[in-house]
Chains A and B, each alone.
Chain A
Amino acid sequence: DAKTTQPNSMESNEEEPVHLPCNHSTISGTDYIHWYRQLPSQGPEYVIHGLTSNVNNRMASLAIAEDRKSSTLILHRATLRDAAVYYCILREFNYGGSQGNLIFGKGTKLSVKP
Chain B
Amino acid sequence: NAGVMQNPRHLVRRRGQEARLRCSPVKGHSHVYWYRQLPEEGLKFMVYLQKENIIDESGMPKERFSAEFPKEGPSILRIQQVVRGDSAAYFCASSVRGPRYNEQFFGPGTRLTVL
Contacts and interface: CB of A to CB of B under 8 A. Distances in A.
Given A91-B100, A94-B100, A100 B48 contact: yes
Contacts of B112: none
B67 interface: no
Contact of A46 (B41, B55, B56, B104): B104
B105 A100 contact: no
B91 A44 contact: yes
Contact of A43 (B31, B48, B100, B109): B109
A46 B59 contact: no
Secondary structure dominating the interface of B: mixed
- Contact-size category for A: 20 to 34
Contacts of A91: 100-101
Interface of B: 4, 31, 33, 35, 41-45, 48, 55-56, 58-59, 91, 93, 98-101, 103-109
Interface string A35-69: 00000001111100100000000000000000000
Nearest to A92: B100
A43 B56 contact: no
B42 A101 contact: no
Contacts of B103: 34, 46, 49
Given A43-B107, A43-B108, A93 B42 contact: no
A102 B41 contact: no
Given A43-B91, A45-B105, A101-B45, 18 more contacts: A42-B108, A43-B93, A43-B108, A44-B106, A46-B103, A46-B105, A49-B103, A93-B100, A97-B100, A99-B48, A99-B56, A99-B99, A100-B48, A100-B99, A102-B35, A102-B45, A102-B104, A106-B41
